[in-house]
Amino acid sequence: MQSMPPMPPRIVFFAASLLGLFAMLPFAVIAWARSAPSPSRPIHIVQDMDFQPRFNTQAVNPLFGDDRAMRPKIAGVVAVNGGSGSSHLEQGVVDGQWATTLPSGIPMDMSTLEHGRTRFNIFCTACHGYAGYGDGIVNERALDLMGNADGPVYGTAWVQAKSVHDPTVRDQPIGQIYNTITHGIRNMAGYAAQIPTEDRWAIASYVKALQRSQDATLQDVPPEHRESLKQ
């Protein structure tokens, strides 16, 4: 009868499994560190230019006599593209009221209106439609998507571009239309970055013309053309 080879003492098994467990510890820590959110910055070995000395808002900077890191504007300095300083041209406001006329230098004539039409057709019709009723191609597509969706549209809501013939918009002075184009309104973004000031005024005057085209009386037509419209 063959005898069994002697077994190693139990303590060896115990020590080996403990060692195996400890060997896994670094990997577990790394996996945890990679997945758990942490408020502190990651360890940054290559700094490049990631952290540069700077002053926070309202911080103290003894370099200046008044100890302020934020420097006030120097009196009388105008930025290179800093605008004219005219509130009529820049904001569409005259004496605290929305302007009812174009600013000086932009004539209300056919060439301004034609220019406004091309800009309107480029920048606005996608949402507002060519006649300004808010029925542009983006609206059609949005309604299509909302209509085709099975069940709720994941909390999405569609705000249609407002009709410029809505009484609340139709009665707005040209300065207010200009201001909407410049700064946007509610869900509509501003276009100051894409459309130069003069072009925004041209668009505003075209919007006024569009509104007039849908809400005119015979008295708005020059007398010599009235007869042909009467029948």
DSSP summary character for residue 165: T
Q: Cα 106 from chain centroid?
A: 28
User: Can you tell me whether residue 97 is helix, strand or coil?
Assistant: strand
Phi, psi of 176 (to 5 degrees): -75, -40
Contact indicator for 161, 188 with CB cutoff of 8 Å: yes
CB-wise, 188 or 221, nearer to ligand HEC? 188
At 36, which amino acid appears?
A
Strand residues in 155-220 grouped as ranges (E): none
Tokens of 28: 């577990």
Query: How many residues line the site for ligand HEC (CB under 6 A)?
Result: 21
CB of 207 to ligand HEC, least distance (A): 5
Q: Which stretch binds ligand HEC (CB under 6 A): 37-45, 83-91, 92-100, 161-169?
A: 161-169
What is the smallest separation between the CB atom of 97 and ligand HEC, expressed in angstroms? 16
Contact status, residue 147 vs residue 141, Cβ threshold 8 Å: no
Residue 181 binding ligand HEC, by CB under 6 A? yes
Query: Is residue 164 near ligand HEC by the rule CB under 6 A?
Result: yes
Query: Binding to ligand HEC by residue 115, rule CB under 6 A?
Result: no
> Between residues 67 and 114, which has the closer beta carbon with respect to ligand HEC?
114
Task: Based on the shown chain and the rule CB under 6 A, indicate whether residue 202 belongs to the binding site for ligand HEC.
Answer: no
Site residues, ligand HEC (CB under 6 A): 123-124, 126-128, 138, 159, 161-162, 164, 169, 177, 180-181, 185-188, 191, 203, 207
